[in-house]
């Protein structure tokens, strides 16, 4: 301002030296984030040299020192802040004592310095809070991504089980009917027609179920979607297996009641896979399917009089049955039938308490 508005004649003239020294106190602020204590010391030293050596106009502005003190409060540890604070109080006391020695000026300077310190600590708290919020958001994003990946993996496994059950059952029935077809053509032409019709019906049903499943994967909402087959569809399933020449019985015992759609779909797939294994591996002639309704569980048992799955006991089908049971908090057991004859698949599925009163 002295170069713009003329100073009073009784004041010292404005010189480039005095304003050069004042400007020099600002330059160390460039490095204040790297070395806040050193920058504060440099600014204090330059200000002391200015007071001692240069009789400049008026009092040099203290803003550079306040900014440096603010940075110390923002970035340094508690021990460093305490040491710098004590040293600053001493420097302020000496400076004020050398100038005016007035208590008012001492208190004002300490108050302004304390305000700079408090602002630095508040900024530190705000930055720590912002960093914590950002870290939490990143953690939630990672958790959501992991959850989405796990859900996608579970859905892929579910779709694989569904496709295995549908295709394995349909192809097994079609193979049995196709193998019996030539024999029936020679010996009983009227049975050959029924066998070919069973092949066609099984293929149509498999296509319908696959189309419904793949419709779930489509993004367009115009794709028709039908519910998964449940317990009500078991008679149709049993009829298709009977058409292959097996004698199949199906009964329900206990307090028969409606179950959730997901649980009923699991029951249908378990029975379907068990019957498929009988057709493919057991060489059985008789199969019994029983659904026993308990107060808090449903037990599904499929027992045949054949030889069992043999070396295929650890195949994908039985693994899928165990996975389906586990998904509903249940268990699956496979092994010899009653008295050691035949083969049995028993699955216990947990039902919720809300279903008991239905």
User: Tens digits of per-residue pLDDT, 84-131?
Assistant: 999 999 888 888 887 778 888 889 889 999 999 999 999 999 999 999
Contact (Cβ atoms closer than 8 angstroms) between residue 86 and residue 77: no
Top-ranked range on mean pLDDT: pick from 9-18, 67-76, 206-215, 219-228: 67-76
Residue 194: predicted pLDDT: 63
Q: Got the DSSP string for 40-93?
A: HHHHHHHHHHHHHH---SSPPP-HHHHHHHHHHHHHS-HHHHHHHHHHHHHHHH
Q: Is 230 helix (H, G, I), strand (E, B) or coil?
A: coil
What is residue 316's predicted lDDT score, i.e. its pLDDT?
58
- Kindly state the tokens that stand for 183: 């024999």
Q: Chain-wide mean pLDDT for the chain? A: 80
pLDDT band at 308 (very low <50, low <70, confident <90, very high): low
12 or 142: whose pLDDT is higher? Answer: 142
Whole-angstrom distance, CA of residue 274 vs CA of residue 322: 12
* Per-residue confidence (pLDDT) for residue 187, from 0 to 100: 67
Domain annotation covers residue 149: no
287: in domain: yes
**One-character DSSP codes across 152-218:** HHHHHHHHHHHHHHHHHHHHHHHHHHHHHHHHHHHH-HHHHHHHHHHHHHHHHHHHHHHHHHHHHH-
Residue 4 lies in a domain: no
Query: Which of the residue ranges 129-143, 144-158, 168-182, 288-302 would you say has the lowest mean pLDDT?
Result: 168-182
Domain termination residue (choose one: 108, 136, 164): 136
d(CA 57, CA 2): 9
pLDDT band at 185 (very low <50, low <70, confident <90, very high): low
**Structural domain boundaries enclosing 255:** 154-218+225-356
303/320 Cα distance (integer angstroms): 18
Percent of the chain with pLDDT over 90: 22
Question: How would you classify residue 308: left for phi > 0, otherwise alpha for psi between -120 and 50, otherwise beta?
Answer: left
pTM for the complete prediction? 0.46
pLDDT score, position 209 = 67
- Banded model confidence at residue 3, pLDDT cuts 50, 70, 90: low
Average pLDDT of span 338-352: 84
- Residue 311's pLDDT is 44
CA distance 242 to 248: 6
Q: Residue 206's domain is classified under what CATH number?
A: 3.30.565.10
> Is 110 in the same domain as 214?
no
In this predicted structure, what is the pLDDT of residue 312?
44
Judge whether 9 lies within some domain. Answer: no
If one compares 279 and 2, the residue with the highest pLDDT of the two is 279
Does 201 lie in the same domain as 114?
no
User: What is the SS3 assignment for 97-132?
Assistant: HHHCCCHHHHHHHHHHHHHHHHHHHHHHHHHHHHHH
Burial class of residue 83, CB neighbours in 10 A (0-12, 13-18, 19+): middle
Task: Average the pLDDT over each of 190-194, 210-214, 326-330 and give the range with the smallest value.
Answer: 190-194
Between 304 and 314, residue with greater pLDDT: 304
**Is the per-residue pLDDT at 195 higher than 70?**
no
Q: Distance between CA atoms of 51 and 55, rounded to whole angstroms?
A: 7
Structure confidence at residue 352 (pLDDT): 66
Identify whether residues 329 and 286 lie together within a single domain.
yes
The answer to whether residues 163 and 54 belong to one domain is no
The position carrying tokens 């649980």 is 263
Taking residues 175-187, report their average pLDDT. 66
Question: Are residues 166 and 40 part of one domain?
Answer: no
Segment 38-51, tens digit of pLDDT: 999 998 888 888 87
- Strand 297-304 vs strand 286-293: parallel, antiparallel, or unpaired? antiparallel
195 and 307 share one domain: yes
Mean pLDDT, to the nearest integer, of 248-253? 90
| pLDDT score of 354 | 44
Q: What is the total count of domains within the chain?
A: 2
Residue of higher predicted confidence among 321 and 35: 35
Q: Please report the pLDDT score of residue 356 as a whole number.
A: 40
Q: Give phi and psi for 286, each to the nearest 5.
A: -140, 135
């Amino acid at each position: 301002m002295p170069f713009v508005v003329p100073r009073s004649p009784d004041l010292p003239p404005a010189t480039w030296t005095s304003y050069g020294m004042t400007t020099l106190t600002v330059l160390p602020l460039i490095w204040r984030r790297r070395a806040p204590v050193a920058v504060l010391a440099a600014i204090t030293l330059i200000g002391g040299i200015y007071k001692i050596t240069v009789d400049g106009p008026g009092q040099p502005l203290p803003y550079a020192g306040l900014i440096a003190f603010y940075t110390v409060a923002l970035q340094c540890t508690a021990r460093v802040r305490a040491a710098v604070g004590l040293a600053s109080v001493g420097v302020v006391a000496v400076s004020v004592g050398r100038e005016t020695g007035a208590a008012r000026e001492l208190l004002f300077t300490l108050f302004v310095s304390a305000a700079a310190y408090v602002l630095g600590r508040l900024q530190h708290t705000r930055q720590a809070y912002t960093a914590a919020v950002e870290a939490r958001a990143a953690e939630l994003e990672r958790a959501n991504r992991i959850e989405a990946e796990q859900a996608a993996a579970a859905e892929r496994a579910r779709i694989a089980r569904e496709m295995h059950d549908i295709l394995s059952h349909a192809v097994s029935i079609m193979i049995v009917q196709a193998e019996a077809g030539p024999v029936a053509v020679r010996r009983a032409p009227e049975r050959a027609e029924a066998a070919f019709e069973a092949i066609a019906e099984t293929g149509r049903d498999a296509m319908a179920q696959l189309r419904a499943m793949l419709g779930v994967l489509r993004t367009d909402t115009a794709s028709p979607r039908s519910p998964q087959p449940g317990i009500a569809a078991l008679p149709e399933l049993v009829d298709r297996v009977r058409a292959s020449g097996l004698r199949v019985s199906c009964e329900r015992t206990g307090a028969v009641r409606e179950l959730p759609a997901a649980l009923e779909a699991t029951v249908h797939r378990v029975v379907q896979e068990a019957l498929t294994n009988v057709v493919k591996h057991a060489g059985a002639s008789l199969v019994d399917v029983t659904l026993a309704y308990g107060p808090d569980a449903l037990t599904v048992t499929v027992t045949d009089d054949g030889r069992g799955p043999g070396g295929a006991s650890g195949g994908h089908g039985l693994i899928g049955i165990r996975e389906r049971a586990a998904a509903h908090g249940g268990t699956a057991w496979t092994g010899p039938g009653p008295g050691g004859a035949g083969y049995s698949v028993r699955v216990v599925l947990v039902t919720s308490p809300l279903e008991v009163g239905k």
